[in-house]
Each structure stands twice: as structure tokens, then as C-alpha cells.
Amino acid sequence: MAESFLPINRAEMQERGMDQVDFVYVCGDAYVDHPSFGHAIISRWLRAHGYTVGMLCQPDWKREDSVREFGTPRLGFLVSAGNMDSMVNHYTVAKKRRKTDAYTPGGKMGLRPDRAVIVYGNLIRKTYKKTPVIIGGIEASLRRLGHYDYWDDQVRRSVLLDSGADILSYGMGERSILDIADALDAGIPISEITYVRGTVFKTRKKESLAQDALWLPSFERIKTDKREYARSFYMQYCNTDPYVGRQLVETYDDAMFVVQNPAAYPLSQEEMDAVYGLDYQRTYHPSYEKAGGVPAIQEIRFSLTSSRGCFGGCNFCALTFHQGRIVQARSDESILEEARGFTQESDFKGYIHDVGGPTADFRHPSCRKQLTEGTCPKRQCLFPSPCPNLNADHSSYIRLLRKLRQLPKVKKVFIRSGIRFDYVLADKKSGFLEELCRHHVSGQLKVAPEHVSDQVLRNMGKPGHQVYLAFAKAYEQMNRKIGKEQYLVPYLMSSHPGCTLADAVKLAEFLRDIRHMPEQVQDFYPTPSTISTCMYYTGLDPCSMQPVYVPRDPHEKAMQRALMQYRLPSSQKLVREALHRAHREDLIGYGPQCLVRPDDSNQKLDGRHGRTAGRMRIKEADNKRDGKKAAGGYRQKADGRHRGKKRQGGRDR
């Protein structure tokens, strides 16, 4: 029988016969004991290795005594903002406050602070002056060194300094947190734990640094010089691999050094199985039931994590800095055992919502050398074209999916976390596309080409537009072969660095041709530790140090968004303005290629006949547009929907 939830307060701690816990885990999320939540994995991993953990989730940061619930932990405090950066969780790209928080009971907003790691860390430090504080999770991981902060529009210090913490665990922290726990348990002072991989520490002792350490530009330089910031960022980007990465040193005021040790080594398959096979309760703590539960559980309750890590290399994604580029996978039996558990639950309807990871169809390292020599520091696996050494093979993923489909009570297995269409095309032998279309698509397949302009795609680190069109054609041909009517829905992004109004118009023309209008538009969001964010802040591509156009003006960004939804009445004025600015007045009119009609609000029509003639021109243009075959050899419903059941789609990152 599975172990119960870990204690969430002093009373539950004492009920378990404990006067003190080894660690108090302070988290910005509600307590959800599920392996999709970082706090659940780390706390269970420590528990499995003999350490006790008290879960102090969403304490009231306005009260100093809120962090005293468990008293002084024997070894230290663990601090995380939760599964999301707290600023992304709280604010839209327009910096407007969001209304709900899916990681909070009842979806209520406001139960965690902005910059949660900093607030929690300082709150703990006020009361517990000498107790070790270890920060981790996505917020800390991506802010581990000096970084551009979009919300403050400035370069901020390492979160290790601002939080008052002693050490920072970055990336997927199973290895580093256990090494830290064992060192503390052995009586080693936290100030002397400077050797653990996957950690960042601070020191004033220059002699404690590695002889081959790589010195980054100082914080004072990157704060005032954008070129130096871009140079520093690229040095960090080239040192994210555990096999070839070096120790990095960032200097503050010529007296304090913030030191990043090389990344932790990837987990073996046996270790991955052990992590995901722990005694999770697989739901939120019962105390949240009265508030309506934690909404985020609905997205992942019947989903399976099969892998971690991603060699996709999208420039707007922080996975390279957090999970790394080396893919680590669980065994089939581990995943099947978890799926069998689904079928025993009373509310399981027969649908497994996802089998994947950051990118669903990455189930092994991209090439054999990665597990011994690491990833190439200055070469991507898929961009600008697939590497000759790429092992593009879906065979193991197909076998896993077939085994899952054969389980009793399983009706359908979806792939929700998205596929890489360029990786699918690179696989010439496994027959994955047919397997996908026959069994894992229900009406719609969602993929993420992101844009149609090759210049923008280069800045995104994505394959050229012709690659997407080739996949669209192959997808249409496969559905014809198997006798299914299934549609392709593209995820697209506006206002990415490098995207001009002319590029945005080109994207609108593509949407016109495939007769698709996105219900929601994704505007580029500059989050910490991505190449794209570095471009946004500096106006430079850190890989080449060449200038990059950056659409920062809110009005231009609004025009780019409006072009993606040019059919909406609310978009018409902005679209006309954008077309005039881009000198594309040919797209204003009544012809089948036009995006919008002229603004006749100030013109008087010639009586009833003028109005009738106008309506006839509009109807004729619409008829021509509706009869036009979409580019790429496939067709798409105008609203992006299929008449049948809506597919459980996803996106590649």
C-alpha cells in the first residue's frame, strides 16, 4: 500500500511520531503528490533515501511566523517557487495580472508572492540565521547567474544573492539534492559544500575555484554593456553539458564570486524508473478539497512522462538550461506499470492523455556519443538541418505506444506534448507517421512551425518553412492512404526577435491560404535564460553577435498579433495600419487574396444600388477564397476545428 502524504504541518508531523523533520520544503505551489510536480519528486526522493520532509506549501509570506510551522529542520530548508516561474505565473506578456493560478486550490490567484524564491528565502533567513537554505526549481534554475528580467526591464543579480540562500540546485535536482543532504548529514558545513555538480554557490575565497574555471564578464559589466551581456550568455549556453561544461565564475564588486559547477550527469534508465516509481499519491492533498482541488492535476492525471531532456534547441525555450539536451527515458515496463494503475481508478475513461516529455517523440539521445562525450557546444542536432550523426528512429516509441494500446480498459492513447515534425521527416525507416495518423490523432494534429518567414525561423532555431510544408504534404498523403479526414493545426508566434511587419504580413497570408485563424495568439514572452530573450534585450544574436531587429513597441506588437487574427472585426483597423506601413495595400480590397476590406466608414455609397454592389463584391471574394486549395497540399477548417471529436493536442517546445 502506498505511503500517505508527507506532513503539511506540525500536527501531522507529530502524528507520525516526529519531533523534527530533516528538511522543510517551502513551495509556491499547493502540495500535489504527483511526479509531474518538482516538489513531489524531490521530497519523495529524499524520503526514499531515509530523510524526513515537511511540506510547507504556499505559506502566507505577509506573516513572518508562517515559516515556523515545523520549527527548525535538522538539516535545512528547501525553497522553490513551484512548477512555473512566479512572474510568468502571475503576469501575461503584456504584464497584466492573470486572473487564475492553476497550481493553487480553487485556481485562486494571490497565494504566492512575486519572485517567490527571493521572498521565501529572505523570510526564512530573518528567523533562521544559520540554518542552511537550498533553493531550486525552475525559477531559481533559470536565474542562477546575472540575467535579464523582462518585468523589471533590467539585468538582475543571481537569485542566490538576492534570496539570501546558501546554495542553489539547478536543473533536474535528484542527484544534487541527495549529495547536499548526505553532506549536511555527515556534518559538513553548508559553506564547504562547493563540489556538488548541478549547484551554484557563492564564495569570497578565490582559491576555492577550479583551476580551469571559465571567468564570465563581471556583473557590473553585463549590467551596463549589452554586448558583454550577450557574450556572457553565450559562454553559459556553451557550458550547459555535464560532460564538456566547465565551472563558471561571475564576479560581484570584485569581492564576491558566484560559481556555477558543471551540470549533474543524466540519470540512467534504472534511476529514471526509480524516480517515477516512488510512492506518489498522484493527487493533491485532501485539505484542498473544500476549495475545489488544484486545477493543474486535471491536465496530467492520466498522462505519462516517458522522457526528459530535449535536443530540439528552440531559441525561445529554456530547456537547454534546465533539463539539458541529453534525452533520458524510462523503461517500457516502468511506464506500463504506471498506466495499469490508471485503469484501476474509478474515473478513468479509457483515455491516456499523453505519453511524452518536453518533446513526445524523443525517446533516446540524438546520437551515441552524447552519453560519453556530451553534446556539441556549438552545433545543434536538428537546426538548421538534421546533423548527419542524428539517430532519427521512432521504433522504441512505437513499441511503447503499441503496448499501451493493448492494455485492458485503454481505448485511446494521445500524444499531447507534441512531436517534432522535422524529426519525423528525418526518420526514413520506422513508419511513425502512419502509426501516428492511424492511432494517435483524433481529428486534429497540432504541431509548432512557429512562423513562415525563414529569417524569423532562423532566429527561433526552427527548421525552414519548406520543411513544414513537406510535413504537411506527407501528413495529407498519409491520411488519404488510410482513409481518414484529419487536419493539421499550426502553433504560431508573433513578435519574436527578427520578425518585422513584412514577416508578420507573410504569416497572415499563410493563414489566409490554409483558411485558419488561431483562436488564441501567442506573443513572444522574454523569460530568463533563453537565446531569444538575450536577443530581445541586447538586439544581438549571442551566437554570432550580429544585430537582430526586435519588435518592442507595444503598438507594433499589437499589429503583429492582429495580423494573425485578421478576420476579427476588432483586428481590422490595426491590420489596415500594418498593411499600409508594410506597403502591402494590395491586400486591402475585395479580391480573394485580400486580408481586409477598405475602410468605407467615411465614404457615402450611391444609395441602395451601391450597397448591393458592395455586398456582391464581398460575396464573390468570399466564394473565391473558400474554393481555393490551401498551400502545402492539405485543407484546414477556417476556425481550426474538425466536425468530430476535438483532439487532445499539444506542442513541441
CA distance 200 to 262: 9
Give the residue-averaged pLDDT of 244-254: 94
Give the residue-averaged pLDDT of 314-343: 96
Question: Is the per-residue pLDDT at 3 higher than 60?
Answer: no
Question: Is the per-residue pLDDT at 422 higher than 80?
Answer: yes
> Phi-psi category of 110—alpha, beta or left, where left has phi over 0 and alpha has psi -120 to 50?
left
Give the residue-averaged pLDDT of 75-86: 98
- Strand partners of residue 450: 492
Q: CB of 416 within 8 A of CB of 354?
A: yes
CA distance 534 to 526: 8
CA distance 2 to 278: 9
Read off φ and ψ for residue 26, nearest 5 degrees: -95, 120
Task: Compute the CA torsion angle 11, 17, 22, 25 (nearest 10 deg).
Answer: -30
| Predicted pLDDT at 208 | 86
Question: Is the per-residue pLDDT at 539 higher than 60?
Answer: yes
CB within 8 A of 555, min separation 6: which ones? none
Q: Which long-range contacts (CB under 8 A, 24 or more apart) does 89-98 make?
A: 89/28, 90/114, 91/151, 93/523, 93/524, 93/525, 94/523, 94/554, 95/151
Q: What is the mean pLDDT of the chain?
A: 91
Determine the residue type at 106: G
Least confident of 226-235, 505-514, 595-604, 620-629: 620-629
* 583: exposed, middle or buried (Cβ count in 10 Å: 0-12, 13-18, 19+): exposed
CA distance 53 to 58: 16
Determine the residue type at 497: P
Domains delineated in the chain: 10-199 (3.40.50.2300), 302-440 (3.30.750.210), 444-653 (3.30.750.200)
Q: What DSSP line would sit under 149-206, residue for residue?
A: ETTTTEEE--HHHHHT-SEEE-SS-HHHHHHHHHHHHTT--GGG----TTEEEEES-G
3-state secondary structure string across 67-119: HHCCCCCCCEEEEECCCCCHHHHHECCCCCECCECCCCHHHECCCCCCCHHHH
Helices 501-513, 554-564: crossing angle, 10 deg rounding = 10
Cα 109 to Cα 32, 105, 114, distances in angstroms:
17, 9, 11
Question: Is the per-residue pLDDT at 604 higher than 90?
Answer: no
Residue among 412, 413, 408 nearest 343 (CA): 408
107-125 tens-digit pLDDT: 999 999 999 999 999 999 9
The model carries a pTM of 0.91
CA distance 237 to 51: 34
Q: CB of 229 within 8 A of CB of 537?
A: yes
Q: Which three cell numbers stand for residue 597?
A: 476590406
Give the residue-averaged pLDDT of 523-539: 97
Question: Is the per-residue pLDDT at 628 higher than 50?
Answer: no
Q: CB of 197 within 8 A of CB of 266?
A: no
CA distance 376 to 572: 47
| Predicted pLDDT at 601 | 59
Question: Is the per-residue pLDDT at 439 higher than 50?
Answer: yes
Give the residue-averaged pLDDT of 352-363: 94
Determine the residue type at 74: R
Give the residue-averaged pLDDT of 308-329: 95
- Strand partners of residue 283: 33
Question: Is the per-residue pLDDT at 214 higher than 60?
Answer: yes
Cα atoms in the 13 Å half-sphere on the side-chain side of 446: 21
Question: Is the per-residue pLDDT at 575 higher than 70?
Answer: yes
Q: CB of 599 within 8 A of CB of 576?
A: yes
Give the residue-averaged pLDDT of 520-526: 92
Number of neighbouring beta carbons within 10 Å of residue 127: 13
CB within 8 A of 30, min separation 6: which ones? 57, 58, 103, 104, 105, 284, 285, 288, 294
Question: Is the per-residue pLDDT at 600 higher than 90?
Answer: no
Question: Is the per-residue pLDDT at 642 higher than 60?
Answer: no
Give the residue-averaged pLDDT of 196-200: 98
Give the residue-averaged pLDDT of 55-64: 96
